[in-house]
Amino acid sequence: RPHVEAMAMGLPIIATNWSGTTEFMTEENSYPLPIDGLVTIEDGPFRGHRWANPSISALRRLMRHVYEHPEEGRRKGEVARQDMVSKYCMECLNAVVARRLAEIERKIDSRKQQQAAAAAEEETDDVSAASSNDGA
């Protein structure tokens, strides 16, 4: 959430190029930070989870780059804000959720129709079998 909030404010961000952030961070709107592999968390509530290990050397380079090229940072911040406003506004997210729910509803309806057709076919088979037995 801090990433999205900073981007929505037009701030240039440097963040780990791993997991959920890759859904909204791009080279155009941020400074994705490479990772040096994954580390396993040894204790605490996330024990056993594997987390990205951010590249310290890349972080140093990116921080220096943003410091030395403030205008580029401002441009990326502007692009980030535009992306957040145009792609992740409440109306946009509502539309995404509505489309997904409609898709789920279509799948449920399709399954119900398939089940009803299978039940009707089974009933027809049972009636046919009963008729055959009556005539025998």
Highest mean pLDDT among 35-39, 86-90, 132-136: 35-39
Which whole number is the average pLDDT over 21-47? 97
H or E stretch including 33? strand 31-33
Report H helices in 9-89: 56-68, 70-87
User: What are phi and psi for residue 28, nearest 5 degrees?
Assistant: -80, -30
The yes-or-no verdict on residue 55 having pLDDT over 70 is yes
> Mean pLDDT across the chain, nearest whole number?
93
- Decide if 77 contacts 11 (C-beta within 8 A): yes
- CA gap 22, 20 in Å, rounded: 5
pLDDT given at position 127: 66
The yes-or-no verdict on residue 136 having pLDDT over 70 is no
Residue 106: pLDDT band (50, 70, 90) is very high
* Least-confidence region, from 4-13, 34-43, 112-121, 125-134: 125-134
